[in-house]
Amino acid sequence: MAAPSAPSSEDGYRFDDLRALFINCTLKPFPQLSHTQGLIDKSRAIMDARGVTTELVRAVDLDIAPGVYPDMTEHGFATDVWPALFEQVMAADILVLAGPIWLGDNSSVTKQVIERLYSCSSLLNSQGQYAYYGRVGGCLITGNEDGVKHCAMNVLYSLQHLGYTIPPQADAGWIGAAGPGPSYLDPGSGGPENDFTNRNTSFMTWNLMHLAALLKRAGGVPAHGNQRTEWDAGCRPGADNPEHR
């Protein structure tokens, strides 16, 4: 069954005010073939057709230092491009982390990116909320061994813990038959034609766009009961606190 093409905009759904960032967490440097990229391309095509401004980075090609601080050059590393990549993260309404399965788990690059997202999670926005509030996150997983759901659970839990909003059906993936075998883009794998994967990728992409649009047009998550600045100042909305004014 042929994979569905990116839909037209005849139904009126446009998202020209949205930006999306896809981070490919493959272990393969460019220009090596990334099977994860094949799945990213399907989601990205849907967004592009609807006016979303999309960007793509392959994290393994970047000199991202390991660590849990916003700039690791301040903690012993000679170089660290994370501060520049963080600017792209903050410019995006939608973040999609995509990567392969190894030993039933996310790749080391995926874990490194999540660690660096975590390194900036204590930063605050202009309303005193954590910096990632008002943005949505999803994930794409590829591999030729079991682990799609495990990997997706880890990524989506991590993103929501950091402040991202996760829409329904915010993950999609593809795996081949159990044991060594063809990967997503290999001839005869059936990956690009897989109806289950194509359906989930489409649903994920649409839900990311819908929820990102709702949040953006509503001004983000309401700033009541979730402001770090207010909590630190002693305000406890909804709690019995005689010092609250």
pLDDT at 149 > cutoff 70: yes
CA 223/CA 147 separation, integer angstroms: 37
Q: Output the pTM of the full model.
A: 0.92
Question: Among residues of the chain, what percentage have pLDDT more than 90?
Answer: 82
Please write the tens of the pLDDT for every residue from 151-202. 999 999 999 999 999 999 999 999 987 777 889 999 999 999 999 999 999 9
With a cut of 60, say whether residue 4 has pLDDT above it. no
* Predicted pLDDT of residue 240: 63
For the chain, the DSSP string reads -PPPPPP-STT----TT-EEEEEE--SSPTTS--HHHHHHHHHHHHHHHTT-EEEEEEGGGS-PPPSSSS-GGGGT-S---HHHHHHHHHH-SEEEEEEEEETTEE-HHHHHHHHHHHHTTT-B-TTSSBTTTT-EEEEEEEESSS-HHHHHHHHHHHHHHHT-B--TT-EEEEE-SSSS---TTSTT--TTT-HHHHHHHHHHHHHHHHHHHHHHHTTSS--SS--HHHHHTT--TTS--TT--
Mean pLDDT value of segment 46-58: 98
Predicted pLDDT of residue 245: 47
Residue 25 pLDDT > 80, yes or no?
A: yes
Residue 203: partners with Cβ closer than 8 Å, 6 or more residues away: 169, 172
Task: Tell whether the model's pLDDT for residue 2 goes beyond 70.
Answer: no
* pLDDT on residue 200: 97
pLDDT tens sequence across 59-101: 999 999 999 999 999 999 999 999 999 999 999 999 999 999 9
